[in-house]
Chain A
Amino acid sequence: MKPLKTKKKNTILFSYLWSMPSLLLICLIVIFPIIYTGYISLTNMNVYHWFTYDLIGLKNYREALLVFDSGFIPALLLTILWTVVNMVLQLVIAYVLASLLNTKGLRLRNLYRTLLVFPWAMPGYVSILLWKTGMFNSQFGLLNQWMEKLGFSPIKWLAGDGIAFICCTVVNLWLALPFMITIIDGALQSVDQSFYESALLDGAGWIERTVYITIPSIRPIIAPSVIITIFTTFKQFDVIYLMTQQAGAKTGAHIHTILTYAYENAFITNNYGYSSAVSIVIFVILIIFSYVINRKPKEEV
């Protein structure tokens, strides 16, 4: 009995030793920054005490909670709206496109696949600014050139809140769809064809096949990717910031997600203690959010 126990113990010990390098790396690049941010949030590290900061307790948190003032709630609601709208559109469009890619007898399938994945190959920063100046610019943008040709008066695409929100959504979809299409495309190919054959024999239509076979079969495969995408959408900063609020190029729209709001109200102060406290509070919000989202799939499993 005893040697078996030691052997088991040894196995555990060795498995820890073998995974130690990667665990250490994860600690260094994931866990350590969070802990360090937490530590900085308890200090008075700012321009005036850059290298000579002291622990000052929870003072920064008292002030950080003040950021979550009257402007924060609308920003939080907008972030949720942004996440929901983007996720619904992404899933629907990606599903339709992926289904089309899987149509039987489709020619040049691989060419379409490559084209659809293309936006992924470009750095986000470049794509966003290309959209901003190439499409939406009121003087030179393609959209206004078309409007002019069709005899309409030019539109300031990014100046109003509603219209800017739609434009940002379009750009975000353009950036995010390749990932979703790839995942759903792969998931669709893994569905056992015999289900469809027997469904056809039973006289099931396209809608029935989609609702009762395709969606239940691909759900477990795409679920992790959907959760990851929900997070990246929720904490999206660059699309909205670069499109409407970039320094020196503000467009007049006031759409703020919690991150752009925190940026304008905390991070520009060069007060790292205070900014870290704001980050930690946002981190906690994200953790709560992830808990709420993750609970459901677990129950189902």
Chain B
Amino acid sequence: MKRIIASLLSIVMLMGLLCSCGGKSQGLTEEERNIIVIWHDKEEAVAEALLTELQNSLPEVDIRLEYKSNLTEALKMVGNDPKAAPDLYFFAHDKIGVYAEMGILEPITELIAKEKLENACVGITLDAASYKGEIYQLPIYFETLLFMYNRLYMADEKVPETTEELYAYMEEKTHGGHYGFVEQHSTAYYSAGWIHGFGGYIMNGEGKPGLNMPETMAAMEYHKKFVELMPGESEYATVNTLFQEGKAHSTIGGPWLVSASRAAGMDLGIAPMPVIDESGIPVSPYMGVQGVQVLKYAAENKTDTVKKVLDALMQPEVGIVLAKVSGCAPAVKACYEAEEVISDDVVMAMRETAENTIPMPNCPEMDIMWTVAADMLVNINMSGQDVKESCEAAQKKAEELIDKMQ
């Protein structure tokens, strides 16, 4: 008897195991078509504002906003699996190339007429959202790095206009645990501004690395003397804490730093990027466009609902609300008619600065460059290795790794 029960139980368990691995029948019900899952990696305030706006304008659609801390990796794993993948995701434009090549993204122009997009959005955001001639993203807002200073130490008229003035200020003020200026000097995203200011690039739009260009090397050589007057650690937490605690007088940071600093009671000033004396070009950081991408499966099977959501996202109200909570510049032109946007100095500074910046490359090769360029920066800035040798070695490594992507 015992044996029979045991056999039965093990058979049942086996069946259970096998069944749970089984597939689901095809076709969506009306109810399922009405559910839109959106993955994002934004701060809670931004997500909450976005959800409220969408629920207000589309009460009939079941919007599910899900936070994913490792969104990019998760999408690579499940992007093609309708059961696990989201319908839309809200992220920066720089991963478009990877997912477009993988074949999981629907060009956004299949869902919104191209003219409508071109009329509605700021031009530079659509350039950033294009990969190989197709637009894959509905831009919501764009962001870049800003020059920020603490008015407690740096008066408005003392704000350096050129990098040499900045250096003089740093020399004068950096002592006793205080720093004249701090930045994440050995991170590719932050250093790109200096490289662009010399006319170099980490990677151009065609996916060609430019680490050994004479311009890039000149930027690295020039930037070194600034690094010497900054703390050894260059990671996010250290740099931001130094600035927020009033130990660093100025910094280059993203919009997320604005609200945090103001909440901490700082009298924060925002100024244009200093101009590099040697080249006459300001420090020109990368620009990122945050927006919504649509996955192929959702575009094909939930077409009407997705269109409704995209339409709702293009309403100026969404851009205005999100600009306010994120401190970024809205991508929809009509937002700039609203008083609350025009009067917001951060948003307007962002738009002004961003229009003169360079969109992050969105080709798949860029994935490699973040690591390779950061290694090069660490070698030059922190390990004191020779600029030319490090740049040549990094370029060679980048080319090798790009070769291995195929």
Interface residues of chain A, those whose CB is within 8 Å of chain B, are 14, 17-18, 20-21, 24-25, 28, 46-48, 50-52, 63, 133, 137-140, 156, 159, 246-252, 254, 264-266, 268-271, 274
With known contacts A47-B405, A63-B404, A139-B231, A133–B10 Cβ distance under 8 A: no
Q: Which residue of B lies closest to A18 (CB)?
A: B10
Chain A residues whose CB sits within 8 angstroms of the CB of B186 once the complex forms: 250, 252
Q: Using an 8 Å CB-CB cutoff, how does the interface string of B370-406 with A read, 1 for contact, 0 for none?
A: 1100110010001100000000000000000100111
Task: Give the nearest-CB partner of B242 in chain A.
Answer: A139
Stretch at the interface among B233-241, B255-263, B275-283, B311-319: B233-241
Q: Could you tell me if B374 and A268 are in contact, using CB atoms closer than 8 angstroms?
A: no
Does the CB pair B232–A266 fall under 8 Å? no
Chain A residues with Cβ below 8 Å from B162 are none
A168–B197 Cα distance when bound, in Å, is 38
Interface size (B, Cβ < 8 Å)? 43
**Contact partner of B401 among A24, A138, A265, CB < 8 A?**
A265
Given contacts A248-B374, A249-B234, A249-B236, 4 further A-B contacts (CB under 8 A): A18-B10, A24-B17, A47-B101, A138-B231
Q: Can you pick out 29 interface pairs between chain A and chain B where the beta carbons lie within 8 Å of each other? A: A14-B7, A17-B7, A18-B7, A20-B10, A21-B10, A21-B13, A24-B14, A46-B405, A47-B101, A48-B101, A48-B405, A48-B406, A50-B102, A51-B80, A137-B233, A138-B231, A139-B231, A139-B233, A159-B232, A247-B371, A250-B382, A251-B378, A251-B382, A254-B383, A268-B368, A268-B371, A270-B98, A271-B404, A271-B405
Whether a CB of chain A sits under 8 angstroms from the CB of B364 is: yes
Q: How far is the CA of A159 from the CA of B378 in the complex (A)?
A: 10
CA distance A51 to B364 in the complex (A): 16
Q: Does B137 make an interface contact (CB < 8 A)?
A: no
A254 to B393, CA, bound (A): 15
Bound-state CA distance A48–B231 (Å) is 41
Q: Considering the chains assembled together, what is the distance between the CA atoms of A25 and B18 in angstroms?
A: 10
Measured CA separation A255–B299 after assembly (Å): 46
Given contacts A247-B370, A268-B368, A274-B404, A159 and B382 within 8 Å (CB-CB): yes
Query: A266 contacts B404, CB within 8 Å?
Result: yes
Q: Is there an interface contact between A21 and B401, defined as CB atoms closer than 8 Å?
A: no
Residues of chain B within 8 A (CB-CB) of A28 are 17
Closest B residue to A264 by CB, please name it: B371
Which partner residue on chain A sits nearest B13 by CB separation?
Answer: A21
For residue A50, which residues in chain B have a CB less than 8 angstroms away from its CB? 80, 101-104
Taking CB atoms, residues of chain A closer than 8 Å to B102 are 47, 50-51
Partner of A269, one of B184, B370, B383, B404: B404
With a cutoff of 8 Å between Cβ atoms, the chain B residues found around residue A250 in the complex are 186, 374-375, 378, 382
Determine if B235 and A248 form an interchain contact, defined as CB atoms under 8 angstroms apart.
Answer: yes
Taking a contact as CB atoms under 8 Å apart, the answer to whether A269 and B401 are in contact is yes
Interface residues of chain A: helix, strand, loop or mixed (majority):
loop
A20: chain B residues within 8 A (beta carbon):
10, 14
Counting residue pairs across A and B whose Cβ atoms lie within 8 Å, the total is 109
A264 to B233, CA, bound (A): 21
| Nearest-Cβ distance from residue B373 to partner chain A, whole angstroms | 11
**Nearest-Cβ distance from residue A176 to partner chain B, whole angstroms:** 25
- Asked if B187 is an interface residue, CB under 8 A from chain A, the answer is yes
B residues in contact with A137, CB < 8 Å: 233, 238
**Do residues B374 and A247 form an inter-chain contact, with CB atoms below 8 A?**
yes
Report how far A18 CA is from B6 CA in the complex, Å. 7
> In the complex, what residues of B have CB within 8 A of residue A266's CB?
404
> How many whole Å from A87's CB to the nearest CB in chain B?
29
B24 interfacial by beta-carbon distance below 8 Å: no
Give the shortest distance, in Å, between B376 (CB) and chain A (any CB): 11
How far apart are B59's CB and chain A's nearest CB, in angstroms? 37
Interface pairs A-B: 8 shortest CB-CB: A252-B382, A249-B235, A50-B102, A21-B13, A156-B232, A250-B378, A47-B364, A47-B101
Q: How far is the CB of A48 from the nearest CB of chain B, in Å?
A: 5
Residues of A within 8 A of B382 (CB): 159, 250-252
CB distance from A144 to the nearest CB of B (A): 10
B186, closest chain A residue (CB): A250
> A254 CA to B376 CA in the complex, in Å?
12
Query: Smallest Cβ distance from A89 to chain B, in angstroms?
Result: 27
Question: B36-70: contact bitstring with A at CB < 8 Å (1 yes, 0 no)?
Answer: 00000000000000000000000000000000000
Question: Which of chain B's residues have a CB closer than 8 A to the CB of A264?
Answer: 371, 375
- Determine whether B134 belongs to the interface, using a CB cutoff of 8 Å to chain A: no
Q: Is B3 in the interface zone, CB < 8 Å from A?
A: yes
User: In whole Å, how far is B289's beta carbon from the nearest beta carbon of chain A?
Assistant: 20
Residue B76 interfacial (CB < 8 Å): yes
**Whose C-beta in chain A lies nearest to the C-beta of B3?**
A14
Chain B: which residue is nearest A63 at the CB level? B404
Establish whether residues B374 and A251, one from each chain, have CB atoms under 8 Å apart when the complex forms.
no
B367 at the interface (CB under 8 A from A): yes
Distance, CA A252 to CA B76, complexed state (A): 30
Assess the B406–A138 pair: CB atoms within 8 A: no
